[in-house]
Amino acid sequence: MIVSGKEVAAKNLEKIAEQTKEFEKKYLRTPTLAVIIVGEDPASQTYVRNKINGCKQVGFNSLSYEYPDGTAQDEIIAKIKQLADDSSVDGILVQLPLPKGYDEEKILANIPDSKDVDGFNASNIGALCLNRPLTVSCTPLGVMKILEYIGADLRGKNAVVLGRSNTVGKPMAMLLLNADCSVTVCHSKTVNIADYTKNADILIAAVGRPRFVTADMVKEGAIVIDVGINRVDGKLCGDVDFEGVEPKASYITPVPGGVGPMTISMLLYNTLASAVARENER
Ligand code: GUN
């Protein structure tokens, strides 16, 4: 069965749009997301455009700041600090990856936890590890919503996560562990990855290598979630060889139209949650 993340995301957006109207009635203001992008990477520009469009769809205000590659790091940090102090701003997002030469950690550290709608801050990652999640990274959270949507029974299942990035692989592993899976994380230094993937009831591919997961690596009946977004000859493809793996999988997400739209809907979910939490702290 092919799972349309696009459809699940569309339902989420409808819900968020309704909740946004209620928020506005109650607090007399509109949730606001600020997005910062540095450089001209076309993929990042597309993602940012989609995020801004998502804001429009659910009725949020969005602020977008575009800096050319080479802009002084301090100028970007000064903007984040200004947005951090602006009480009308609920979420601050710096699109990653930043161009070479920027200190990602130093820049992101200026986003207050209460506005960290990407869930990248150490305290948000730490809370997730302690199974007391606050704001969870959008892509792994979107994957969990897909698993929930298909009614996947996770308890005691073997989950294999391919990739150990701070933004996807690590938080993904933690979410699955918190959901009572037995979790294995494989990465570029793992020897014989197929030995692990062949035992996976749930296989999450987030390695950034086009069609890396082939049919021979997949267990019959596995749930396969493809987080990859790769461009090959101008066409988008995932980390999974979709045509080969689809007949073996009980559920599989396509690229595009799978995890991608879910990421955006979770970003909007996190932004509204941040707006509500900030109102309740006043
Ligand atoms: N680059 C790729 N995915 C993401 C994401 O979820 N958030 C940010 N800020 N940058 C990204």
d(CA 102, CA 273): 30
Do 89 and 154 belong to one domain? no
8 A C-beta contact, residue 171 and residue 137? yes
DSSP-derived secondary structure letter, 47 = H
- 27-82 residue pLDDT tens: 999 999 999 999 999 999 999 999 999 999 999 999 999 999 999 999 999 999 99
> Of residues 51, 145, 157, 170, which has the active-site annotation?
51
Do 83 and 160 belong to one domain? no
Q: Within a domain: residue 98?
A: yes
Do 108 and 166 belong to one domain? no
pLDDT at 213 over 80: yes
> DSSP letters along 168-222, please?
THHHHHHHHHHTT-EEEEE-TT-S-HHHHHTT-SEEEE-S--TT-B-GGGS-TT-
Q: Within a domain: residue 206?
A: yes
Range of the domain at 84: 28-112
Ligand 1, atom 1: closest residue by C-alpha? 96
pLDDT at 118 over 90: yes
- 75-111 residue pLDDT tens: 999 999 999 999 999 999 999 999 999 999 999 999 9
Q: Is the CB of 139 inside a 6 Å radius of any atom of ligand 1?
A: yes
- 156-189 residue pLDDT tens: 999 999 999 999 999 999 999 999 999 999 999 9
Q: Within a domain: residue 188?
A: yes
pTM beyond 0.85, yes or no: yes
Q: Within a domain: residue 119?
A: no
Do 57 and 170 belong to one domain? no
Do 182 and 97 belong to one domain? no
User: Containing H/E element for 277?
Assistant: helix 259-281
Q: Within a domain: residue 64?
A: yes
Report residue 20 as tokens.
Answer: 């946004």
Q: Helix H segments across 1-160? A: 5-27, 42-58, 73-85, 104-108, 122-129, 138-149
Please tell me the total count of domains within the chain. 2
Question: What CATH number corresponds to the domain at position 203?
Answer: 3.40.50.720
Do 101 and 202 belong to one domain? no
Q: Is the CB of 263 inside a 6 Å radius of any atom of ligand 1?
A: yes
Do 86 and 179 belong to one domain? no
Do 35 and 98 belong to one domain? yes
* 207: confidence class by pLDDT, cuts 50, 70, 90: very high
8 A C-beta contact, residue 78 and residue 36? no
The whole-number average pLDDT for the span 218-242 is 96
User: Is 57 known to be catalytic?
Assistant: no
Q: Within a domain: residue 269?
A: no
Do 253 and 153 belong to one domain? yes
- Last residue within a domain, chosen from 112, 129, 147: 112
The whole-number average pLDDT for the span 129-144 is 98
8 A C-beta contact, residue 115 and residue 92? yes
Question: What CATH number corresponds to the domain at position 40?
Answer: 3.40.50.10860
Q: Within a domain: residue 160?
A: yes
**The pLDDT value given to residue 282:** 77
Sign of CA dihedral 35, 124, 269, 163: positive
Report residue 139 as tokens.
Answer: 């892509």
> Of residues 118, 201, 226, 241, which has the active-site annotation?
118
